[in-house]
């Protein structure tokens, strides 16, 4: 039965944010110093001249004093944990590389600036513990092979996302994670996996509850370990962009007398996404994706954008008529995903990558770091119903065979750990790509009428022509059953730049370009959607790149970096708001 008309059960924690689960946020002002070009192997945490305070989370090089600087920064704060109690710190992103010290001892290194990681706090009789994080934003392929300097977006340094602390109970099992996978939107069936840690206490019981309903006693299982079961969510309602209904699940470990020893609440949504007969389907209905690529970025804050900015961006996207965001080109901030869950946006989340080629793919260190970061992304965002697509390695060298092992491995990891979502990657080699067989649908990054159109009399005419010809050739090559998404397309328009010629870089050229791209893609029966490049203007590198990047910005935003709409805003809005996203394509 489709019970989407039933009343909504209340979600038992503040609406817009994931459940706190006894997390204590460590955000706030930390001691800080920028040491610059030092050797981190000679770094001594006992000997740091903290001179300033810095806000966590933030990017230190988004602040005026350190703008554009590369080097080592050190952050410190004290935390208090009951004596002889173990705790876990969760870092949502530290960029680019970091080493964490507790009470002067190194406990963990991490080498990907956008993927989350945890640190166990060793037992100690001391209550007040010193936490030091050494952060390095210098590019060093051997150490941070996931980040390369030529990526077309500025990679900042710092503790750029939230840090929190979860204290484990002194005795009894601890709920480390709860994952909910929707199985059937017609029956509300979900698969629930619970990860438990620690020694059970005598008579310990495990309870599970959906929303504010009755709790169910779960069968005894050995702990530590994993519990895996299927249930139908009582009085369920389907999650969809039009009605983004969320449910909650609470797992409680109870002592003999029923008192809670540890507990975790997670939000989830019931929705299914599939490819059937060459189309995308959401909850059994045809789906068309209308949206934008979006970097997490603002000129005043770099990648550590305030929640309010995220809300404003989603409001712009709603006004544009979008239902879809491609989170280019890295794992997304939890707050952004929470908002997409609540506001009903569909999301493509991808593992970090930008145009890597053979040298990178040959590195074992890269392969290992990429694989770890992919697993961390899948675990961190598993319960967000907004995510319907998993991707990785934007515009890699997929026209060559050297990418194949890492692509096969990544797709296999996603299908094993996250089988309920679709898998794709964005290619820049539409006609020579070698990995289409691996994915659920084909995603094309196309820039006709922008790049490589020197000498064309009317570059704008190339837009529709190229889209149609490319799809025809892909079909002729045997891929006619795979839906096609235009995962990027766009042209630069400098905010405020108008010229009688309406030529490159004018707002007029950009507006007409996007109009033609959207109309062609959305008229085409093979196209399951379009994600325009890009939502807003974003900072990129200077140096050689700036010859193609006026202001050292990627100026393909429909809004400029301060979210002021360009002419393209109206052009896109006119089209997207007229399209029925659930109309069969
Ligand atoms: C690529 C890439 C984007 C951006 C874009 C552009 O397709 O995936 O990150 O660099 O090109 O503006 O050239």
For residue 14, is pLDDT > 50? Answer: no
Q: Which of 148, 492, 554, 557 to mutate to test the pocket of ligand 1 (most atoms within 8 A of CB)?
A: 554
Our mutation pick for probing the ligand 1 site, out of 149, 152, 517, 555, counting the most ligand atoms within 8 A of Cβ, is: 152
Determine the atom of ligand 1 nearest the C-alpha atom of 534. 12
Counting every residue written for the chain, the total comes to: 585
State residue 325's pLDDT score: 98
Query: DSSP secondary-structure letter at 168?
Result: P
C-alpha distances (whole Å) from 481 to each of 32, 62, 149, 274 are 55, 45, 38, 13
**Rounded to the nearest whole angstrom, what is the distance from the C-alpha of residue 501 to the centroid of ligand 1?**
25
- Measured in angstroms, how far is the CA atom of residue 174 from the centroid of ligand 1? 44
* CA 274/CA 280 separation, integer angstroms: 6
Cα(318) to centroid of ligand 1, in Å?
Answer: 23
pLDDT of 17: 44
Centre of ligand 1 to C-alpha 265, Å, is 38
Distance CA 378, CA 182 (A): 15
φ and ψ of 408, to 5 deg = -65, -45
Out of 296, 327, 356, 395, give the residue to mutate to test ligand 1, the one with the largest number of ligand atoms within 8 Å of its CB: 395
Q: Which residue is associated with the tokens 């933030």? A: 58
In the prediction, which pLDDT does 170 show?
86
3-class DSSP state of 108 = strand
The DSSP call for residue 139 is -
* Mean pLDDT of the 414-432 span: 97
* Residue 545: predicted pLDDT: 66
Atom of ligand 1 nearest to the CA of 394: 8
Q: What is the pLDDT of residue 583?
A: 52
If one counts every other C-beta atom within 10 angstroms of the C-beta of residue 361, the result is 20
Q: What is the dihedral of CA 13, 17, 19, 21, to 10 degrees?
A: -120
Q: How far apart are CA 504 and CA 506, in angstroms?
A: 6
Q: How confident is the model at residue 224 (pLDDT cuts 50, 70, 90)?
A: low
Q: Output the CA 300–ligand 1 centroid distance in Å.
A: 22
Give per-residue pLDDT as tens, 304-359. 999 999 999 999 999 999 999 999 999 999 999 999 999 999 999 999 999 999 99
Ligand 1 atom with the shortest distance to the CA of 488: 7
Structure tokens at 553: 């910005």
The ligand 1 atom nearest the CA atom of 540:
10
The atom number, within ligand 1, closest to the CA of 329 reads 9
How far is ligand 1, taken at its centre, from the CA of residue 490, in Å? 9
Which residue shows structure tokens 């809004």?
559
Chain centroid to Cα 157, Å, comes to: 18
Ligand 1 atom nearest the C-alpha of 554 is 12
Q: H or E segment at 485? A: strand 484-488
Neighbouring C-beta atoms of residue 393, cutoff 10 Å: 26
Q: Ligand 1: which of 393, 487, 488, 490 to mutate, judged by most atoms within 8 Å of the beta carbon?
A: 488
Q: Which atom belonging to ligand 1 lies closest to the Cα atom of 426? A: 8
- Compute, in angstroms, the gap from residue 371 CA to the centroid of ligand 1: 23
Q: 174-200: per-residue pLDDT in tens?
A: 999 999 999 999 999 999 999 999 888
Contacts of residue 253, defined as CB under 8 A and 6 or more positions apart, other chains included, come to 169, 172, 173, 174, 175, 196, 204, 205, 206, 260, 261, 262, 263
Residue bearing the CA closest to ligand 1, atom 4: 152
Record the tokens describing residue 186, joined without a space: 């017609």
* Arithmetic mean of pLDDT over the chain: 93
- Calculate how far, in angstroms, residue 133's C-alpha sits from the geometric centre of ligand 1: 32
Q: What is the mean pLDDT of residues 73-82?
A: 95
Give the Cα separation of 204 and 252 in Å (integer): 10
Nearest atom of ligand 1 to the alpha carbon of 548: 13
Nearest CA to ligand 1 atom 12: 554
Q: pLDDT per residue over 454-495, tens digit each?
A: 999 999 999 999 999 999 999 999 999 999 999 999 999 999
- Beta-carbon count within 10 A of 437 CB: 11
Whole-number Cα distances in Å, 132 to 51, 78, 129, 170: 14, 9, 10, 25
Q: If you measure from the C-alpha of residue 46 to the centroid of ligand 1, how many angstroms do you get, rounded to a whole number?
A: 44
Distance 29 CA to ligand 1 centre (A): 35
Looking at the predicted structure, is the pLDDT value of residue 416 above 60? Answer: yes
Cα 328 to averaged position of ligand 1 atoms, centre (Å): 10
Asked if 488 contacts 354 with a C-beta cutoff of 8 angstroms, the reply is: no
Residue 222, pLDDT score: 60
> For residue 492, which atom of ligand 1 is closest to its CA?
12
Q: How far is the CA of 517 from the centre of ligand 1 (A)?
A: 16
Looking at the CA of residue 328, tell me the nearest atom of ligand 1: 9
Question: 373-390 pLDDT, tens per residue?
Answer: 999 999 999 999 999 999
Task: Please enumerate in sequence order all residues whose Cβ is within 8 A of that of 537, keeping only pairs 6 or more positions apart, or say none.
Answer: 495, 553, 554, 555, 556, 557, 559, 560, 561
Helix, strand and coil in the chain, % to nearest 5: 20, 35, 45
* Residue where the block lists tokens 């979210």: 563
Pocket (CB within 6 angstroms of ligand 1): 152, 328, 354, 394-395, 445, 488, 533, 554, 556
pLDDT of residue 260: 86
* DSSP string of 157-220, one letter each residue: -EE-S-EEEEEPPSSS-EEEEEEEEEEETTTTEEEEEEEEESPPPTT-EEEEEETTS-EEEPPP
How far apart CA 239 and CA 428 sit, in angstroms, is: 33
Contact present, 275 and 483 (Cβ < 8 Å): yes
Candidates 477, 6, 455; CA nearest to 211 is: 6
**Contacts by residues 400-403 (CB-CB < 8 Å, ≥ 24 positions apart):** 400/358, 400/434, 401/434, 402/358, 402/361, 402/362, 403/361, 403/434, 403/435
C-alpha radius of gyration, the chain, whole number:
24
- Separation of alpha carbons 80 and 451, rounded Å: 55
Q: Which protein residue's CA is at the shortest distance from atom 7 of ligand 1?
A: 445
For residue 241, report the distance from its CA to the centre of ligand 1, in Å: 27
The pLDDT of 272-301, averaged and rounded, is: 97
Q: Which residues, listed in sequence order, are joined to residue 30 by a DSSP beta bridge?
A: 54
Whether 266 and 249 have beta carbons less than 8 Å apart is answered as yes
Q: What are the CA-CA distances from residue 355 to residues 25, 123, 397, 449 (Å)? A: 35, 44, 7, 21
Tokens of 449: 């009428």
Q: Whose CA is nearest to atom 10 of ligand 1?
A: 152
Residue among 58, 121, 129 nearest 93 (CA): 58
Residue nearest to atom 3 of ligand 1 (CA): 152
Nearest Cα neighbor of 281 from 580, 532, 581 is 581
Distance CA 260, CA 256 (A): 9
Which atom in ligand 1 lies closest to the alpha carbon of residue 152?
Answer: 10
Give the list of residues 6+ apart from residue 470 with CB closer than 8 angstroms, or none: 430, 431, 444, 446
Name the band, by pLDDT with cuts 50, 70 and 90, for residue 539.
Answer: very high
Please name which of 243, 287, 245, 340 lies closest in space to residue 580, comparing C-alpha atoms: 287
Give the distance (Å) from ligand 1 centre to CA of residue 289.
Answer: 19
Going from the Cα of 242 to the center of ligand 1, the distance in angstroms, rounded, reads 30
Quick check: helix, strand or coil at residue 547? helix
Q: How far is the CA of 152 from the centre of ligand 1 (A)?
A: 7
């Amino acid at each position: 039965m489709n019970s989407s008309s039933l009343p909504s059960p209340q979600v038992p924690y503040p609406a817009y944010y994931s459940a706190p689960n006894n997390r204590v946020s460590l955000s706030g002002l930390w001691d800080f110093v920028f040491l610059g070009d030092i050797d981190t192997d000679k770094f001594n945490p006992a000997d740091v001249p903290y001179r300033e305070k810095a806000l966590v989370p933030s990017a230190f090089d988004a602040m005026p004093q350190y703008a554009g600087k590369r080097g080592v920064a050190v952050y410190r704060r004290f935390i208090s944990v009951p004596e002889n109690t173990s705790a876990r710190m969760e870092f949502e992103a530290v960029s680019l590389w970091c080493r964490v010290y507790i009470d002067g001892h190194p406990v963990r290194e991490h080498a990907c600036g956008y993927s989350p990681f945890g640190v166990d706090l060793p037992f100690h009789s001391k209550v007040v513990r010193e936490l030091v994080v050494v952060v390095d934003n210098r590019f060093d392929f051997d150490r941070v092979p996931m980040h390369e300097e030529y990526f077309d977006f500025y990679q900042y340094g710092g503790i750029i996302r939230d840090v929190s602390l979860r204290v484990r109970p002194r005795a009894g099992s601890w709920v480390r994670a709860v994952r909910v996978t929707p199985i059937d939107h017609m029956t509300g069936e979900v698969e629930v996996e619970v990860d438990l840690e620690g020694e059970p206490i005598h008579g310990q019981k495990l309870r599970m509850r959906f929303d504010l309903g009755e709790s169910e006693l779960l069968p005894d299982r050995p702990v530590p370990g994993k519990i895996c079961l299927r249930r139908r969510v009582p009085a369920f309602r389907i999650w969809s962009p039009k009605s983004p209904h969320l449910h909650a699940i609470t797992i409680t470990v109870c002592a003999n007398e029923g008192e809670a020893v540890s507990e975790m609440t997670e939000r989830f949504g019931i929705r299914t996404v599939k490819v059937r007969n060459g189309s995308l389907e959401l909850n059994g209905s045809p789906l068309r994706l209308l949206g934008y690529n979006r970097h997490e970025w603002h000129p005043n804050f770099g990648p550590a954008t305030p929640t309010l900015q995220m809300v404003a961006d989603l409001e712009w996207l709603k006004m544009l008529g979008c239902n879809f965001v491609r989170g280019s080109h890295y794992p997304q901030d939890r707050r952004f995903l929470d908002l997409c869950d609540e506001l009903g946006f569909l999301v493509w989340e991808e593992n970090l990558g930008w145009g890597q080629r053979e040298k990178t793919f040959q590195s074992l260190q890269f392969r290992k770091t990429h694989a770890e970061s992919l697993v961390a992304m899948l675990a961190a965002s598993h319960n967000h119903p907004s995510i319907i697509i998993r991707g990785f390695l934007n515009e890699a060298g997929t026209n060559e065979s050297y990418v194949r092992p890492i692509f096969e491995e990544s797709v296999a990891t996603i299908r094993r750990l996250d089988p309920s979502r679709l898998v794709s990657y964005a290619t820049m080699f539409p006609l020579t790509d070698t990995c289409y067989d691996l994915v659920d649908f084909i995603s094309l990054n196309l820039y006709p009428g922008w790049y490589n159109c020197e000498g064309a009399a009317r570059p704008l005419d190339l837009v529709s022509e190229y889209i149609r010809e490319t799809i025809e050739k892909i079909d002729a090559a045997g891929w006619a059953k795979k839906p096609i998404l235009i995962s990027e397309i766009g042209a630069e328009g400098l905010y405020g730049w108008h010229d009688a010629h309406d030529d490159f870089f004018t707002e007029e050229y950009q507006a007409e370009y996007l109009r033609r791209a959207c109309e062609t893609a959305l008229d085409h029966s093979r196209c399951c959607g379009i994600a325009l490049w890009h939502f807003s203007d974003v900072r990129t590198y200077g140096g050689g790149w700036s010859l193609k990047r006026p202001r050292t910005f990627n100026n393909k935003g429909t809004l400029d970096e301060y979210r002021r709409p360009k002419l393209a805003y109206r052009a896109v809005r006119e089209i997207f708001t007229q399209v029925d996203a659930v109309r069969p394509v």
